[in-house]
Structures are given as C-alpha cells and as structure tokens.
Amino acid sequence: MAEVRFDDRVAVVTGAGGGLGREYALLLASRGAKVVINDLGGAFDGTGSGHTAAEQVCQEIKDAGGEAVPNFDSVADWEGASNIIKTAIDTWGKIDILINNAGILRDKSFIKMEMEDYEKVLAVHLNGTFFCSKAAFPHMRENNYGRIISASSGAGVYGNFGQANYAAAKMGIVGLMHVLKQEGAKYNIMANAIVPVAGTRMTATVFPADLLDVLKPQFVAPVVAWACSENCTVSGYTFTAGGGYFSRTAFMEGPGVYFDVKQPITLEMIDENIDKITSLEGAVAIGSATEHAGLILGKMSQG
Ligand SMILES: NC(=O)c1ccc[n+]([C@@H]2O[C@H](COP(=O)([O-])OP(=O)(O)OC[C@H]3O[C@@H](n4cnc5c(N)ncnc54)[C@H](O)[C@@H]3O)[C@@H](O)[C@H]2O)c1
C-alpha cells in the first residue's frame, strides 16, 4: 500500500502545544508536512499564556528532521486567527491544511454557568474555528486545494452534564463544517470534523488512569491526518475515533409519516402517530439543507 504523504503541504494545527493537537502535528510532520504549531499556552480553562508548549513541539519536529514554526496567538479573536494563518503564508507561501483543534473547558451545571464561562468557551471553540477557517479559506480557494478538519465532541453531538457551553460550541462547529463542505466543494476544499476520545489534560479528571494506555491521542491522529490528505475522498463527515475505534457519526432522518395537507392536520394525528414519526428505522444521512428540502417535497409528491 502506498504511503500517505504530505510532502510540499503546509499545515496549521491550532492548540498543537499538547494533547491531541501535538499528536496531529507530529504525524503530519513525520510524513513531510511543514507545520505551524499554534498554541496560546495557557491553562485548560483558558487562563494564562506562554510560549513553551508550542516551542517544545516545534523542537520535537525539528529534532526528528521535520519543519515547523511556532505561533502563540489566540484563535479566539479575528486578529490572532488571521496572524496564525499569516504565519503559514509568510513562512511557506500557502496553507493547504487547517486543523481547528484549540480548546478550553469551563464546566458547570447549566443553572450555575456564568455568562463569562459561556462566552469564553464559545470564543475559543466556535469563534476560533470560524475565524481560522475564514482566514485560511481564500488562500485555499486560490490554490484550488484545502483540507479543514475541526474538533467536535461527543458532548456536542450527544450532550454531557455540565457542558452546556462546550456542547453548544461543538455542535456549532459541525454546522459550520457542513457549510464549508458546500462552499468549498468547487475549489477542492474538503471540510470534516472529528469526535475524539483521548486521555489528555482536558480529560484528566474524566478517564481513570488505567485507561490512558488505550486512549492515547496517537489512536485518534491517523484518521485526522487521513482527512488532511490528498487521499481524502469525503467532505462533510464527522469521524469518531478513540482507543482503536474509528467510525462515522451522523445526523440521520427517519422515514417519518406523510399527512395529506388538503385535510386538517390535528394534534391527535401527531399523538396517534408519534412512534412512527420518531422512528429511526430506515433512517438516512442527508448531505445538505437543499437535499433535505428535496426529501420533504418527495414525500409530498408520493402522498
Ligand atoms: N480529549 C478528548 O477526549 C476530547 C474529546 C472531545 C473533544 N476534544 C477536543 O479536542 C481538542 C483538543 O483537546 P485535548 O484533549 O488535546 O486538550 P488539551 O487541553 O490538551 O489541548 C488543547 C490545546 O489548545 C490550546 N488552546 C486553548 N485555548 C487556545 C487559544 N485561544 N488559542 C490557541 N490555542 C489554545 C491549549 O493551550 C492546549 O494546548 C479540543 O478542541 C477538545 O475540545 C477532546
């Protein structure tokens, strides 16, 4: 099997100073990519900053014979995000790959969550992904090549107690990814998302120590790197990866029921048919809002 390589490709990995981002960067660099190692270098709750994390990962890559430059800007503001992408352009003249990975946590039950906890988490995850993608997209379009993969989360897709802010941001990222897929298709820009499960400082209080050996970030990185490669044939997908498990996660739409609109549609009709309406048996994944509208129109024409 041919080796998947990234020679002459330029990548930006946000939040690459540790955890999953570091692993993504090391893998891409080990296969020939030139990588901007972005990391604000603060604590897991978004406080503080520092240069050590990004510098160390750059050094690791260089020691292994690869090419990397550090960047210490925050993804959470437009100026910082623009500067992250500018670092790639100034250093290597282009950007081919963007991994939106930077993240923080401010967990609290919904009732206790302060507005600041909400705003800070949305700023890093959702705004950060939006800003970095927005800064990278014109360059990708100009080169008719781009791979964007953004970090979502099981908390966003399925919900998790105490993570209302984080879940809202992580599902927002999936929505953004679907639009980038559509707007990028013409320019060979593919956008996907990753739902990772890995032992990092972010999940240090979640996973028991004896699971850390099987939940290494190394076990997530291969599918993220694949989605960044020329071999990637899909866009608009959300991948799940952790502990050796790889799959696709998707919103599915059940077959539902159709009522003729020439008759009144009553509350009781919903009540009587609620099991059928909510059944996911025979559910399908849908590629766009247009396709979704087409599906509804198709049901009407069959009715
Ligand atoms: N570890 C998991 O199981 C898991 C599960 C679901 C989602 N995720 C997501 O994966 C991504 C990576 O998480 P991780 O587990 O490696 O955590 P991590 O804390 O080890 O890594 C996150 C990195 O982002 C950096 N960062 C934070 N704010 C930043 C900012 N404003 N600008 C630039 N960099 C910033 C941090 O300094 C840190 O190095 C996150 O988006 C996270 O939400 C992780």
Domain ranges of the chain: 10-249, 252-302
How many whole angstroms from 196 Cα to the centroid of ligand 1? 11
Task: Report whether 50 contacts 11 (CB < 8 A).
Answer: no
How many whole angstroms from 19 Cα to the centroid of ligand 1? 7
DSSP, res 108: B
Specify the pLDDT at position 184: 98
Per-residue pLDDT of the chain (303 residues; tens, 9 = 90+): 899 999 999 999 999 999 999 999 999 999 999 999 999 999 999 999 999 999 999 999 999 999 999 999 999 999 999 999 999 999 999 999 999 999 999 999 999 999 999 999 999 999 999 999 999 999 999 999 999 999 999 999 999 999 999 999 999 999 999 999 999 999 999 999 999 999 999 998 888 888 888 999 999 999 999 999 999 999 999 999 999 999 999 999 999 999 999 999 999 999 999 999 999 999 999 999 999 999 999 888 876
Nearest protein Cα to ligand 1, atom 19? 202
What DSSP line would sit under 148-197, residue for residue? Answer: EEEE--HHHHH--TTBHHHHHHHHHHHHHHHHHHHHHGGGTEEEEEEEE-
Relative to the CA of 199, which ligand 1 atom is closest?
1
Whole-angstrom distance, CA of residue 148 vs CA of residue 292:
24
**Fold category of 252-302 in CATH:** Helix Hairpins (1.10.287)
Looking at the DSSP assignment, which residues form a beta bridge with residue 68? 35
Whole-angstrom distance, CA of residue 146 vs CA of residue 96:
5
User: Which residues line ligand 1 at a C-beta cut-off of 6 Å?
Assistant: 14-15, 17-21, 38-42, 44, 46, 53, 74-76, 101-104, 124, 128, 151, 153, 196-198, 200-203
Q: Please name the CATH architecture into which domain 10-249 falls.
A: 3-Layer(aba) Sandwich (3.40)
Nearest protein Cα to ligand 1, atom 17? 202
Relative to the CA of 242, which ligand 1 atom is closest?
3
Task: Report whether 200 contacts 20 (CB < 8 A).
Answer: yes
Task: Report whether 142 contacts 87 (CB < 8 A).
Answer: no
Residue 74 CB partners (closer than 8 Å, separation 6+): 40, 49, 80, 81, 124, 128
Whole-angstrom distance, CA of residue 132 vs CA of residue 12:
9
Specify the pLDDT at position 303: 66
How many whole angstroms from 105 Cα to the centroid of ligand 1? 8
How many whole angstroms from 72 Cα to the centroid of ligand 1? 14
Identify the CA nearest to 194 among candidates 232, 160, 144: 232
Query: Phi then psi for 216, rounded to 5 degrees?
Result: -70, 145
Residue 288 CB partners (closer than 8 Å, separation 6+): 178, 182
Is the overall model pTM greater than 0.95, yes or no? Answer: yes
DSSP, res 201: G
